[in-house]
């Protein structure tokens, strides 16, 4: 088989890239190791930056997102016995976020690709990359796919990054001393907007997926298993961390999804080698506190699709050669913002009283100063 771009991974990065290439008349084949059902049901991110929504709508895959997505114009920071709104609509008129589950984005992209006759191979086995320096090809399940370019969109645990010869890539990593326990519950959100709560017991996040479904996260020890957390314990801890201000009561209900996400920062430089280009989690990971992971994947793919368009249209590899440089500035900005939000809101060494006072002072400043709040807002809704 032959195609112009061999794409490994049918997550947001791989699917959006395949769609953007299709819009430009560039052929691709997507190879995905999991089933379609698994990929479409996998619960992950939930917040789309302004720019991500624009990209999906302009690419013609944003109709359901505009219908069902929840536009949000602010978030709450909750600490001590206070809750403070960071008002995007006042600080950055016209810029907002949209709450829409990553699995919904994936469903919309798969539907669009298949409706356009796109070639997505689910449940493929043993994907391997070959001849990255000149005439690359992929093998999988006894088959061979010759391509001009390979896009590694196979996430943090994929095979693309490891296919690059030793000594070529430099990786930067930061592990955090905690993880997030995430749940989905069939219960209406207890507030209109997201609540990021800092408490001495640990961080908690109140989010949502729809008027009927809430999404929560709890900071837990790094080696936590979801089995350690029966529903009663989850609700008790969420109440302890969120019901800290007068008049707020957390609605509880049936928990139907539970999972633990490790917290790490990770960047690979460069994000390319020969004819292989890495995009999304295959190249970088951020702690989810800043809601950047999915949005960074979309940003990488925007750059890569433009570069591939120029390459196939004119033969010029200039944009492809500059792909990493064009992406890494935004990647590191998102790394820093995610680190900043994580250190601002999570409980580290419990007997570090000095550190705790620094955190509260920092929160006091961010919630009192328009300049500081604007810094948070412009990074959160997404920089141009």
Query: Positive or negative CA dihedral for 323, 325, 326, 330?
Result: positive
- Between residue 46 and residue 105, which ones bind ligand FAS under the rule CB under 6 A? 46, 102
151 bridge partner residues: 7, 277
- Between residue 243 and residue 272, which ones bind ligand FAS under the rule CB under 6 A? 259, 261
Residue 258: active-site member = no
Q: How far apart are CA 250 and CA 34, in angstroms?
A: 36
CB of 71 to ligand PHB, least distance (A): 14
CB 283 within 8 A of CB 161: yes
- Distance in angstroms between the alpha carbons of the first and the last residue of the chain: 39
Query: Positive or negative CA dihedral for 376, 380, 383, 384?
Result: negative
Among 3, 5, 12, 20, binds ligand FAS (CB under 6 A): 12
Residue 365: active-site member = no
Residue 137: active-site member = no
**Closest to 45 in 3D by CA, of 88, 87, 104, 86:** 104
Residue with Cβ nearer ligand FAS (15 or 26): 15
* Tokens matching residue 343: 């250190």
Examine residue 45 and tell whether it contacts ligand PHB (CB under 6 A).
Answer: yes
Residue with Cβ nearer ligand FAS (364 or 378): 378
Strand residues in 211-275 grouped as ranges (E): 213-220, 254-269, 272-273
Examine residue 47 and tell whether it contacts ligand PHB (CB under 6 A).
Answer: yes
Examine residue 214 and tell whether it contacts ligand PHB (CB under 6 A).
Answer: no
Residue 72: active-site member = yes
CB of 384 to ligand PHB, least distance (A): 20
207 binds, among ligand FAS, ligand PHB, none (CB under 5 to 8 A by kind): ligand PHB
Q: Per-residue string for binding with ligand PHB, 161-200, x by CB under 6 A?
A: ---------------------------------x------
**Closest to 333 in 3D by CA, of 299, 309, 360:** 299
Total number of residues that touch ligand FAS (CB under 6 A): 32
363 binds, among ligand PHB, ligand FAS, none (CB under 5 to 8 A by kind): none
CB 15 within 8 A of CB 158: no
Residue 221: active-site member = no
Phi and psi torsions of 301, nearest 5°: -70, -30
Q: How far apart are CA 279 and CA 346, in angstroms?
A: 28
Active site residues: 72, 196, 288, 292, 380
What residues make contact with ligand FAS under the rule CB under 6 A? Answer: 8-14, 31-34, 39, 44-46, 102, 127, 153-155, 158-159, 259, 261, 280-281, 288, 291-294, 297
What residues make contact with ligand PHB under the rule CB under 6 A? Answer: 45-47, 194, 207, 215, 288-289, 291
């Amino acid at each position: 088989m032959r195609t112009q771009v061999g794409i490994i991974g049918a997550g947001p990065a791989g699917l959006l890239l395949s769609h953007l290439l299709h819009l430009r008349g560039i052929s691709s084949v997507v190879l995905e190791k999991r089933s379609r059902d698994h990929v479409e049901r996998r619960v992950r991110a939930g917040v789309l930056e302004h720019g991500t929504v624009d990209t999906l709508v302009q690419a013609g895959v944003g109709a359901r997102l505009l219908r069902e997505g929840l536009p949000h114009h602010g978030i709450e920071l909750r600490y001590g016995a206070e809750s403070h709104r960071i008002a995007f609509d006042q600080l950055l008129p016209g810029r907002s976020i949209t709450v829409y589950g990553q699995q919904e984005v994936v469903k919309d992209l798969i539907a669009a690709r298949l409706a356009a006759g796109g070639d997505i191979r689910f449940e493929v086995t043993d994907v391997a990359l070959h001849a990255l320096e000149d005439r690359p090809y992929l093998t999988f399940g006894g088959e061979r796919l010759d391509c001009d370019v390979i896009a590694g969109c196979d996430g943090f645990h994929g095979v693309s990054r490891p296919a690059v010869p030793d000594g070529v890539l430099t990786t930067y990593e930061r592990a955090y001393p905690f993880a997030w326990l995430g749940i989905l519950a069939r219960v209406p959100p207890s507030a209109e907007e997201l609540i990021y709560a800092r408490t001495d017991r640990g961080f908690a996040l109140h989010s949502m997926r729809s008027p009927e479904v809430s999404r929560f996260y709890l900071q837990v020890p790094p080696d936590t298993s979801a089995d350690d957390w029966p529903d009663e314990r989850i609700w008790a801890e969420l109440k302890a961390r969120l019901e800290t201000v007068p008049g707020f009561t957390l609605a509880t209900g049936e928990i139907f999804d539970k999972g633990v996400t490790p917290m790490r920062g990770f960047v690979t430089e460069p994000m390319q080698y020969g004819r292989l280009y890495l995009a999304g989690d295959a190249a970088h990971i951020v702690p989810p506190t800043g809601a950047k992971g999915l949005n960074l994947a979309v940003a990488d793919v925007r750059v890569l699709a433009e570069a591939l368009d120029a390459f196939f249209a004119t033969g010029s590899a200039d944009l492809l050669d500059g792909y990493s440089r064009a992406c890494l500035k935004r990647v590191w900005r998102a790394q820093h913002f995610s680190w900043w939000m994580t250190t601002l809101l999570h409980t580290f060494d419990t007997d570090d009283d000095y550190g705790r006072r620094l955190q509260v002072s920092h929160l006091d400043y961010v919630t009192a100063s328009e300049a500081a709040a604007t810094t948070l807002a412009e990074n959160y809704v997404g920089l141009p």
